[in-house]
Amino acid sequence: MKSLLLFVLLLAGYGAAAQRLDSLLDLQRAADPHEKIHMHFDKSAYNPGETIWFKAYLFNGFGLSEDTRNFYAELLDANGRLLERVTAPVVFAGAYGSFALDSAYARSLVYVRGYTLGMLRADTSYLYNKALRILGKTSPAPATTPSFNLAFLPEGGGWVRGLPVTMAFIATDNRGLPAAAAGFIEDQNGARVIDFKTVHNGMGSVQLMPVAGKRYRAQWKDEKGKPHTTALPAFTDDGIVLRVSDDPGGKRFTVQRTASVDAARQRLHIVATMNRQLLYQAEISLAAKPSATGVFPTDPLISGIMTITVFDSSYKPLAERICFVNKHDYEFDGDVYFTQKNGAARTLNRFEVSVSDTLPANLSVSITDADRNETNAMEDNIVSRLLLTSDLRGPVVNPYYYFYSNSDSVAIQLDLLLLTHGWRKFNWDDVRAGRVKSSPAQPENYITLQGQVQGLAPGRLGGNLQLNGILETADSVRHLLFLPVDKKGNVSADGLVFYDTARLYFSFNDKNIPKGTGILQLQNGLRMNALPGLPDTSLARLLPNATAAQLAANNKALTLARQRGSGLVAKELANITVEGRRRSNRDKIEQRYVSPLFAGDASSFDLVADPNARNYRDVFQYLQGRVAGVQIGSGTPPTLSWRGSTPSLYLNEMQTDATQLSAIPMNDVAYIKVFRPGESPVYGGGGGVIAIYTRKGGDVMESRDAGLSSALVAGYSTQRQFYAPDYATDASSVGGDFRSTLYWNPSIFVDRSRRKIRFQFYNNDLTKNFRLVLEGVDAEGRVLHVEKRLSTETK
C-alpha cells in the first residue's frame, strides 16, 4: 500500500496538542477508512438484451483497499426499481461481474450503484453511482425554458469587512451544467466595483474587499443574453480570512484578521490534512500583527486533495480551504497495442498488454466497435475517480481534463473547481470529542458461514463436539470444514469463496451421533437486501447524447441482425467455438482450475492423470522430493521451509494452513502448483507458494456423502462467462456476427515474471475501427488508464 509521508510542523510547546489531534484523526480514519470505488465498464452505451460487463477497483484513502472482501453492485432504473444485484469477492483490490439487460427494457438510461459494507457506515452520498445510456431508446424531454443561476463563494468560507478575499463564482443552467456568464459587481448605489466573466466550465473568480456600509450585487447576462441580478453573500464586520496559493516550495497560506477580533481568534492553529491524516500543524499568533503567512512544503507528499483548516485557540474551526497537490506520481507505465490488426469480417486480431514496472498489477481491458461506442475521452475514469470525483459533491464535467495536461492553466482551472464544489468534509466537533461511527465486531472475510445445529440433545452440544463437513459447490469443488459446535449449537466458518449455491454435507465427531442426525440452517454473512432509495438521476446530465454517426452505426448493426436472425450478443455464437490448435493436458487443466492471478510459470502436477497419486497419505508426502529446495518435515501437519522462509499455502486459491491441507483425501486433489520464492504472482509468496486444487465436474471421483445430513447455502452471484467466437476454421455458415464488445477481460494479472501478456480475438462482420481501454492498479496503489481509437482502414 502506498504510504503517505507525515511531516508535522510544530512550534515550541505544541507537540502534545499535535499528537492528540493526530490520534483523534486516526480514530476517525479507522472507523471510516474513506473507501473509494471506480468501475470500468466494457463500453458506455448498450442495447436492450446486451450484457453490461464491469470491473470494480477499490481504494482506501491513498492506497488499495486491503481489508474489504466483498463488493456489491446494483442495476436500477430511474424509479429505483432493482433490475439485478451482484455480489462478488474482492481480490487484489478488484472485483468483477456483469448485468444482463432485459431485451424488453424500454427506458433510455440505467443506473449502476456500487458499494461495500464499510461505505454504508459512512456518508452514503459517496457511494459509486453511474448512469449508462441505452441506445435506440429515447425519453421525451419536458419542454422547459432554459434558466440560469450564478453563485458566489468566498475562499475559505469567510467574507469579512476590510479584508481582501478571492470570490469564486460558478454559473449553471437548470440542469446543473456549466453555463457562460459575464457582468460586473456593483454596490447598492450602483457604483461599479469590478467586471467578471466565466473562464472555464462556468467558473471564474475576482478579488474583492468589502467596505463598511456597502452591500454588493452582480449584474450579469447569461449565455442567451438575458440579464440577471444576483446578490452577493453578506459579509461580517469582524473575523479572519484564509487565502491559499501555489508557491515554489509548496502551498502558501495567508491568514488575516480584523482589528476587533477577540483573544480566541488572535491565537490560531492552522492544520493541513490529507485523507484525515495530519500533515502539518502550526500555531499562529496575531496578537501583535494583523496577518501571518507561511508555506506547507509539498515535496514530501503524494498527490491528492489537501485540506487546510484554521482554528481558534480552542480548536473551533474558523475557515477551511481545499487545494490539490499534484506530484504526477499516481500512474504507472503500461500500454495496450495491436500486434496483428485486421478489420475484415471474422479475421484474427492479436494484441499485447505490457507494463514496464516489476510490481504486481491488476488490470482489465475492453475492445469495442469504436463507431458504435463513441466516448468522451475526458469523462471520469480511474485516475479522476481516485484523485478527484470520489471526494467532491455533485457531478463534475469532464473530470479527466484536469489530469490529462500538466499545463499551468489547467492547474488554475482545477483550483477553481475546488473553490466552487463541496467536498468530503468531516465534523471537527466529532474529531475533537473522539466520536466515531460504530464498526463491526469482526472484519468481513469473504463468505462467512453461520448456522445453528438443531435436533441434538442439549447435553450433546459444546465440549469437544465438532461438525465435520464437506462443502460441495455448484461446480463440484469440495472443501473440507471442521467446525466446533458451541453450547448453543452455533457453528461458523469464514474465508470461503464460491458462486451460485453450495451444499454442506455434515456429520459429527461423536460416534454416538448417527449419520443423518441434525438440522442446520446456514447464512452466508453477505448483505442480502438491496439499498433503498432512488439512484442519483443527476448523473444523467453528464451523459452526452449519442451522435448521429453512432446511432447510424448502431441501427445498421440492429437491422442486419434482424435480417439474418442473429443477435448482438456473443453468447449466441458460442456454439461455433473451435480449437485452433491442440492444447496440452497441462493447458487444459490450467484453464479448468487456475485463475489469472495464479497463472504463470511454476512446478505443476496433474493428479487427475496420475493413477498413483491416491496411494500417498497427503499432498505433502506426494510433494516430497518433487520440488527442489522445498523442505517438508515428516510430522502431521509437517513443517515447511524454503530458502529460510515458510511457503504460503492455498486451497482453491484461498489461503489456508498445513492442517487443512493434510486432511484432504488424495482422491479429491486434482492439481498442484508450486511457485518458487520471489516468483509468486500473489502476496505472501516470499517463501514460495503451494497451491492445491480439488477436483470438480467430471474429475470428481466416487461420492462418499451417502447418508449424511446436508444444508444449502447461497454464495456469490453466478459469474457469466464472456463468450467470443473462434473462427480458426471456416464458420461461414453461421448467422451474422454483430457484437459491439469484441473482447473483455477483467482479470489480467502481471508481475515481474509476466510483464507482457498476449491475447487474441476475432472480429465481427462490421467493425472497422476499434476502441481499446486498459485500466488497472498496481501493488502500491498507483493507477493506469490507456484509451485508444484505432482504424483498420488505410487512408
pLDDT, tens digit (0-9, with 9 covering 90-100), for 314-361: 999 999 999 999 999 999 999 999 999 999 999 999 999 999 998 999
The pLDDT-based confidence of 138 (bands split at 50, 70, 90) is low
The pLDDT, as a whole number, for residue 320 is 95
Question: Is the pLDDT reported for residue 677 higher than 80?
Answer: yes
- Averaged pLDDT, 385-407: 92
The pLDDT, as a whole number, for residue 541 is 78
The pLDDT, as a whole number, for residue 580 is 39
- pTM of the full predicted structure? 0.89
Percent of the chain with pLDDT over 70: 92
- Averaged pLDDT, 104-114: 93
Say if CB 276 and CB 25 are below 8 A apart. Answer: yes
The pLDDT-based confidence of 122 (bands split at 50, 70, 90) is confident
Say if CB 71 and CB 36 are below 8 A apart. Answer: no
The pLDDT, as a whole number, for residue 330 is 94
Between 394 and 470, name the one with better pLDDT.
470
Question: Is the pLDDT reported for residue 304 higher than 60?
Answer: yes
What distances in angstroms separate CA 313 from CA 45, 279, 317, 758, one per listed residue? Answer: 54, 19, 10, 62
User: Residues 627-645, buried b or exposed e (16+ Cβ, 10 A)?
Assistant: beebebeeeebbebbbeee
Most confident of 113-127, 212-226, 420-434: 212-226
| Euclidean distance between CA atoms 444 and 96, whole angstroms | 18
- Averaged pLDDT, 236-247: 96
Question: Is the pLDDT reported for residue 577 higher than 50?
Answer: no
- Averaged pLDDT, 283-312: 94
pLDDT, tens digit (0-9, with 9 covering 90-100), for 406-434: 899 999 999 999 999 988 777 888 888 78
Question: Which residues touch 179 (CB under 8 Å, ≥6 apart)?
Answer: 148, 171, 172, 173, 198, 202, 222, 223
Strands 689-694 and 648-651 come out as: parallel
The pLDDT, as a whole number, for residue 12 is 35
The pLDDT, as a whole number, for residue 3 is 39
Say if CB 171 and CB 178 are below 8 A apart. Answer: yes
The pLDDT-based confidence of 570 (bands split at 50, 70, 90) is very low
Minimum mean pLDDT range among 88-97, 207-216, 704-713: 704-713
Question: Is the pLDDT reported for residue 71 higher than 70?
Answer: yes
Peptide bond between residue 637 and the one before it cis (omega within 30 degrees of 0) = yes
Question: Is the pLDDT reported for residue 198 higher than 90?
Answer: yes
| Pick from 381, 373, 366: nearest CA to 47 | 373
- Averaged pLDDT, 521-539: 87
Percent of the chain with pLDDT over 90: 61
User: Residues 412-425, buried b or exposed e (16+ Cβ, 10 A)?
Assistant: ebbbbbbbbbeebe
The pLDDT, as a whole number, for residue 26 is 79
pLDDT averaged over the chain? 88
Angle at 733 (CA atoms; ends 730, 738), nearest 5 degrees: 95
φ and ψ of 293, to 5 deg: -140, 160
